[in-house]
Chain A
Amino acid sequence: MASQDNAGNRFDAFAKQVARRRFLRDAALLGVATPLAERLLAARGRVALAAPRAQSEPKGGSISIVMTGDEPKLLDAQVDPFDSAAMASGWLSDMLVHKEKDGTFTPWLATSWKTSDDGRVWTFTLRQDVKFHDGTPLDAAAVKANFDRIADPKTQSGQASAMLGSTFPKSEAVDAATFQLTFDQAYAPTLDTLSQGFFPIWSPTALQKYGNDEFERHLIGTGPWQLQEYQPADHYTLVKNPNYNWAPKTAKHQGPPYLDTITLRWIQEPTTSVATLRSGEADLVLSFPAANVAAFRDNDAYKVLSAPLTGSPALFVMNTANPPLDDVHVRQALEHAINQSEFVKVLYKGEAIAARGVMYPATPCYWKGAESVYPFDSAKAKSLLEAAGWQAGGDGILQKDGKPLKLDVVNAFNADLSPLIQAQLKAAGVDANVELVPGPVQLERAIKGDFDLIFQHLAYSDPSVLDLLYNSKNLQPGGWSWTRYKDPKLDQLLSESTATIDQTKRCQLLTQAQQIIVDQALVLPIYGRNAVAVMASKVTDFDLGPRATIDGWLYDTYVQ
C-alpha cells in the first residue's frame, strides 16, 4: 500500500508530462490528419442526387450491381451451376432464343426453328449479322463448338450438361446458317432451357486461343456488354459493346445497350448487401433479403421490384424408405399438421407466400386443386396418426410398440424454420429433432438418405422440375429425387410429360402426376418467395424476366 502511494506520486508527475506531451503530439497529428482525413472521406461520399436527365440527353450511365449470396466461382454458366452466373452470362453473351414473360419465345441468335414430327430433332436458322466481341462472326460451327464444350466431361459442366435431358443431345452444323440438335427422346423443355443463361454462345476462336481455364478470365461472347476487368472475389467490370445490334425484337430499343459500365459484385452477408444500397455504393441489389424489403417499399428514393418464382417451393421432402414415413397414412397425417400461414407470418417479415401445392403457382401446368387437399388441422393430424396405430404417450409424443414417434429433420439455409417446424410437429404428437446444416451437407445427407424430413427449395423455369424431383431414376449423386418413392405409374407420367411437346397434353399428364404426388403426401410444402430487387430510383427500366433468378433484363435500362 505504501509503495502504491509513492508510485502514485511519481506517476502524477510523469502523467502530467505524458499528458502535455500527448496533447502536443495530438495537436500536431491533427494538423497532419485533417487534410489526410479530408482525402479519405472525400471521394466515396454521399449519394448525390443528380439533376433529372433532360429529354435530349442520350440515355446511359454507369450502374453498380450487387448480388446477394455466394459468388459463383466462374461467371461462365456453361460450367458454373449458380443462377447468378447464368444471369451474368446473359449480359456477356446471347442465347439462341429469348423467353418472354407470357411464356412465348422470340427469335434471338436464331431467327427461326422447327421440330421434326417425332419431336427429337430441332433445327435452328441463325442470324447472319452477329459478331463476337473479338470480331469472329457467328455461324453454326461456332454454336456447335459451344454445345460440344458443354458435353465434354473435361469441361466439368456443373449444370448445363444436365439440363437437356438425361442424355445430352448431339449437335450438328448442317451448314453455316443452320444448327441442329438431335435428342434420343423428345424433350419438351428444350426452348425454355436454351433460352436460359446456362447456354450462352461464346466465341470459338477465344475458346481455342485461351483454353478452357484461361478463357474464364476473358469470356468473349456476342452480348451487349464485354468483360473489361475481373478482380477475383471482389468485382467484375463490364463495358458496353458498341457493335451490338441483335437484341430480340420485343426489346424497347435496338442497337447498343444504354448502360456504359456495369460494376458487378457479390456480397454474401445480407446486412452488408443492404448497407451498400443505403450507402450509395450499390445502385441495384438483386436477391434482396426479404426481411429488409419493408423499409424500402415506402421510400421514394428507392424502387422495389418483386417477381414471382417458378419451380418447386420451399418444402420438406419425406424419406419414404424409412419408418415411420414409409406409411402413407402417417405422411398424410403430417400434411394436416403444417400451418403454412404461421410460417408466412414469421418468415421474411411477411414477404413469404404460403405454399400448398407442389409447384409455384406461376409455373405452367400448376394444379390448383392441390391447395385444398390438406387443410391445416392439428387435431385431425393427431387422429389420423392414432388411426395408423400411434397411441398417445406420456409426454404428448405418440408411440407405437413402445417406440416414440421421432423424426430427424434436416434444415438448411433458413434457421427460422427450425423452431416452427418443431413446434407444429410437436402439436401433432411428433418428436422432431431439427438440425441446421450448410448447403453442401444438405445435398450429401439427401443423397445418402440420412434424414426423415429434409429441406428442399428448387426454383426452376419449367414444370419438368417434377420429373427431376419425383422420378425415381433421379436418385443419384447430383440428383434431386430424394423421396425414394418408387411408383412406375408416376415415373411413367413424369417421363412422358417431359417428352411431350404439345402443351395441352403435357399439362394433362403433369396434373395427373401432381395428383399422385399430393395424394401420396411425398413432401410437406411450406412457403414460397418472390425474387426481389431493390434499386435507387434513378435506375430506370430494369426488369426481371420469367425466370426471376436467371433473367435480369438490363438491356433497356438506363440511369437518370
Chain B
Amino acid sequence: MTHYIASRLATTIPVLLLISLFVFSIMHLLPGDPAMLILQGQAASTPEQIAALREELGLNKPIYVQYGLFLKGALQGDLGRSVQFKQPVMSVIMERLPSTAQLTAAAMVFAIVIGVGLGILAAIKQNTWIDSLSMVLSVTGLTMPIFYIGLVLILFFSVKLHWFPIVGGSPLQRLVLPALTLGFVSSGIIARLVRSSLLEVLRQDHIVTARAKGLPERTVIYRHAMKNMMIPVLTIIGLQIGGMLSGAVITETVFNRPGLGRLVVQAILWKDFPLAQGTILFTATVYLLINLLVDLSFVWFDPRVRVT
C-alpha cells in the first residue's frame, strides 16, 4: 500500500513541473513581443506603455531567470498580475473559484445520483423498457450540446414556470439549473458505465457464492457487487471532473456565472497572458490533485491495492 501511494505521489510531481514549464512557455513561444500583444488586446499601446509593461513583467531578464521567478512565485501562490483587471492573478482566481467549485460539485452530485441511479436501474432491469428508457436518457445527456440543454432549461424553468432564477436569487437557487445542465452530460457517461460494470460484476463467481450462502439480494448488490463495480466508475468520475471544468465554460457563459471557465477563455482571447497562464496552471494543478485523490481512494475500495 505504501508503495502504491508513494509511486502515485512521485509521478504527480514531475507532471506538475512539466505543466508549469509548458504554461510558462506559452507567452514566449507566440510570435511577437508579449508586452505588445498584451496591450494590443487592451486597445492601447504607445511605446511608453509597452516599455513600462515589459519592465513590470520582467521580460528584459534572461529566460531561465524568468522561469525560475515564475516557479518560485507559483509555489508561494503569486501568479503575477492580471493586465486587464489590474489585480494579482491569484485574487482574480480566488474570486471566481467559489462559483466554479460550487457548480462542479453540484453538477457532480447530480451526475452521480442520476448516473449511478439510472445505471443500476438499467442493470437490474436489463432488457426491459426501464433499461431502454434509462439508456435513451443517458445517450441524450451524452449527445445533446450543453448550451442547448441549458437554454431549454432556462426557457422552461425560468421563463415559463418561474421556478428557478437565471442570474439572480440566492446562490443555492441560482445553482440548480446550471448544475443540472452540466451534470446531465456526465450522468450519461456514468450511467452507461455503471450499467455495464454492474452487469459484468454480477456474472462473477463470488456473486454466485454470495447468493449460494443465502445472503439477501440487497446485501449481494450493495456490499459485494457495488464495491467492485465502483473502481472503473470512480476512475471515470475523476476524469469527468476534469471534463466538467471545460463543460463549465459553456455552462458559465449560458448562465452568466462568474467562474474560472469563462475567465480563462476571456483571458486567452484578450491576451492577458499572466492571467491565462495563472488560471491554466491553477486548474491543471487542481485537476491533477483530484485525480491523485481518486487514485488514492482505491486504497479503500480495492483491497488488492493494499498489498502492493
Interface residues of A (CB under 8 A from B): 3, 7-8, 10-11, 13-15, 17-18, 40-41, 43-46, 64, 70, 73-74, 79, 81, 153-154, 156-159, 161-162, 212-213, 216, 231-235, 265-269, 271-272, 275-276, 278-281, 438-440, 443-444, 447, 477-478
Contact = CB atoms under 8 A, between A and B. Distances in A.
B95 A232 contact: yes
B46 A153 contact: yes
A156 B217 contact: no
Interface stretch (B66-74, B179-187, B248-256): B248-256
Contacts of B170: 43
B124 A15 contact: yes
- Which of B42, B44, B164, B263 has the most A CB atoms < 10 Å from its CB? B44
Given A43-B173, A44-B169, A3 B203 contact: yes
Contacts of A158: 42-44
Given A232-B95, A279-B159, A440-B269, A17 B218 contact: yes
B304 interface: no
A32 B258 CA distance: 31
A213 B162 CA distance: 40
Contacts, number: 151
Given A74-B85, A233-B96, A443 B158 contact: no
A43 B257 CA distance: 20
A228 B155 CA distance: 32
Kindly list the 10 A-B residue pairs having the minimum CB-CB distance in the complex, ordered from nearest.
A233-B258, A14-B217, A44-B169, A44-B165, A153-B48, A73-B84, A158-B44, A213-B86, A234-B258, A81-B43
Given A14-B217, A279-B162, A281-B167, A40 B172 contact: yes
Given A232-B258, A265-B167, A74 B52 contact: no
Interface in B128-151: 147, 151
Interface stretch (B33-41, B229-237, B294-302): B33-41
A242 B40 CA distance: 40
A253 B15 CA distance: 65
10 contacts: A14-B217, A14-B220, A44-B169, A46-B162, A275-B159, A279-B158, A279-B159, A279-B166, A281-B165, A443-B43
Contact of B221 (A14, A64, A81, A154): A14
Interface of B: 36, 39-46, 48-49, 52-53, 83-87, 92, 95-96, 99, 124-126, 147, 151, 154-155, 158-159, 162-170, 172-173, 176, 202-203, 211, 217-218, 220-221, 253-259, 262-263, 266, 269-271
Contacts of A232: 92, 95-96, 258
A478 B167 contact: no
A477 B40 contact: yes
B42 A276 contact: no
Contacts of B52: 153-154, 156
A10 B216 CA distance: 10
A233 B263 contact: yes
B40 A10 contact: no
A290 to B, nearest CB: 19
Nearest to A13: B217
A14 B124 contact: yes
Given A272-B166, A279-B159, A280-B162, A159 B43 contact: yes
A441 to B, nearest CB: 8
Nearest to A439: B269
B217 A157 contact: no
Contacts of A8: 126
Contacts of A159: 43-44
B274 to A, nearest CB: 13
